[in-house]
Structure 1
């Protein structure tokens, strides 16, 4: 699981840390930098997928020219904060059986040909008795295209491990995962972190995509909601998860949903139907956008059995405020009982009003002070008097009134950290 994300000179962030919980909510006015957090998570996800730096930032194209990975938003000159020569992303990861790790990568754009290259990179055990990093870069390698890397001695032995030279256009983390000669102990640590980054998922749901019939056997929900029918069909094979899904949908919609039905069209593709208690049926073609969005989010969360982090932008889009509680209840219960995590941005005061105590602890505001040259991130729980005000005013009222931004204008972050 990802515990925190630290950004330095990445896009609009000069030096900021996001605390990540089970459900992490991020609020802020337009253009404050919330979408830049999505790009930071996408950068980490690109590392987990084994891409090079040019592919992570500029897009990955497979054989035949099809696009496998979309580029990060903005031009190459906008990835690094204006006036700086490099950016740094650091993430703290908790793994099963291997403890906690901090992974940090610094990327520069000083190459004469305008290429992005690894400036520095390291993986450190956070709770190990040995303070020696799993690996860290030392500087230039055998030539200008390489970087020198020092590996930790195996089994916690004293002294330095071996020194090797690796490419600068690809993250060291994934190069070591595939490199021969790396000890099994170190490889297992690296693989755990790579798997966590590779399990990040982004859902930008489209009603048109969710309405389309699905090809039989497709069990992974696409980023826009493709394959919704067959993902739900597979989910309904598990009676417990099907029961939970039916109960949530019944609360969300005016329909008394009793079951899901699946039929094939003339091309053999699967069409989704919702059945009510009276025997009536509504196809995905007729279902509302909000119902489809809810179904897709529920399907993603309930069908995922691994250790994933889902990133949603504006998770409340298309949902009636009175039904928001159903969605938040679904997510909070899911993350409490599993290693699944959810990060979402929102402008909805209603969402903030209904979040539970654990979510309140991991809710943050992104803000661009008038007298500063970068975005800042503050946990809402650290703002002055917010716990008391929450009881009388609700977070939603504080958010809609602009109180968060006012509090940040007059509060000293250094004092709040003491």
Structure 2
């Protein structure tokens, strides 16, 4: 999948945001004092991505329930529902699109989906859409009749349909990382290494997976070049096996003729180097 540019995010009563509309550049650097909402902005991406793979109730529960997620400030916006919308640019024959939903809080920590919309604009001018109002479904995509539940999003139900699959893949593939250097220092349990965990706790497995198959030499070279740019003395990093555990080993060179070389385990490396490696692997 090619890189996707999220062009706009519209937030309504989510976390610390009563309402906000943010237009993105690539790259985007968000800077602010503590408590200004940077983490909550990042969580809007995590929230939607998780909602594509998990029941919405579970996504709320991981965050303390809808009462903890929905902004309850004294703003005058009405109705006081939680809502998120994402607009994205071109990818794989799709010119762009939009996905949005709105959730109403109910007594006893319940909730219901009051509105859900999706639009896909193909490069050839074709448009596919659906508009859901509570459990009422409208769409120009014939043959789609999902069994709607008041507490579940419909996009995950139809994400396998080729007309809406691009939106589903984009939203489900969004990732938010908060790399914890301590996790990269630890001995790690091996896994598939297909994707990096949010905290970087399987970095060695990801590094090992990237070293396999066609193009592995070029990938390894690219990783080492990025790392050397950030930490000039560090020339390479490689996974290291310890029985049923994995760690990472770094090689450093210095001197005018590069004749001095040492290897270090991950627990010897600085927070900055490990955090940078995690972002490279992401």
User: Does the alignment reach a TM-score above 0.5?
Assistant: yes
1:253 maps to 2:231: yes
Whole-Å separation in 2 of the counterparts to 1:130 and 1:246: 43
1:226 maps to 2:201: yes
Whole-Å separation in 2 of the counterparts to 1:216 and 1:164: 38
Offset at 1:108? 0.4
1:93 maps to 2:68: no
**Per the alignment, in what secondary structure is the counterpart of residue 197 of structure 1?**
helix
**Per the alignment, in what secondary structure is the counterpart of residue 201 of structure 2?**
coil
**Per the alignment, in what secondary structure is the counterpart of residue 267 of structure 2?**
coil
Q: Counterpart of 1:270?
A: 246
Aligned with 2:139 (options 122, 134, 151)? 151
Whole-Å separation in 1 of the counterparts to 2:68 and 2:40: 14
| Structure-2 change in CA distance of 1:176 and 1:273 (3 Å) | closer
Q: Counterpart of 1:80?
A: 71
Q: Counterpart of 1:196?
A: 170
Whole-Å separation in 2 of the counterparts to 1:7 and 1:198: 18
**Contact 2:146–2:158 at 8 Å: present in 1 too?**
no
Whole-Å separation in 2 of the counterparts to 1:36 and 1:259: 35
More helix by share: 1
1:269-288 to structure 2, matched below 5 A, reads 269-277=245-253, 278-288=260-270
Q: Counterpart of 1:8?
A: 12
Q: Counterpart of 2:159?
A: 177
| Structure-2 change in CA distance of 1:150 and 1:214 (3 Å) | same
**Per the alignment, in what secondary structure is the counterpart of residue 30 of structure 2?**
strand
Q: Counterpart of 1:45?
A: 49
TM-score by structure 1 length?
0.56
1:244 maps to 2:222: yes
What 5-or-longer segments of structure 2 have no aligned partner? Answer: 254-259
Q: Deviations for 1:264-321, whole angstroms, at most 9, x for unmatched residues?
A: 22x3323321122323111112111111111111122xxxxxxxxxxxxxxxxxxxxx
**Per the alignment, in what secondary structure is the counterpart of residue 261 of structure 2?**
coil
Offset at 1:7? 1.0
| Structure-2 change in CA distance of 1:280 and 1:114 (3 Å) | closer
Q: Counterpart of 1:298?
A: 280
Q: Which runs of 4+ in 1 moved over 6 A?
A: 161-164
**Contact 1:124–1:134 at 8 Å: present in 2 too?**
yes
Offset at 1:130? 6.7
Count the aligned residue pairs: 262
1:119 maps to 2:114: yes
Question: Over aligned residue pairs, what C-alpha RMSD do you find?
Answer: 2.7
What 5-or-longer segments of structure 1 have no aligned partner? Answer: 60-70, 140-146, 155-160, 179-186, 301-418
1:23 maps to 2:27: yes
Higher relative contact order (CA 8 A, sep 6+): 1
**Contact 1:273–1:282 at 8 Å: present in 2 too?**
yes
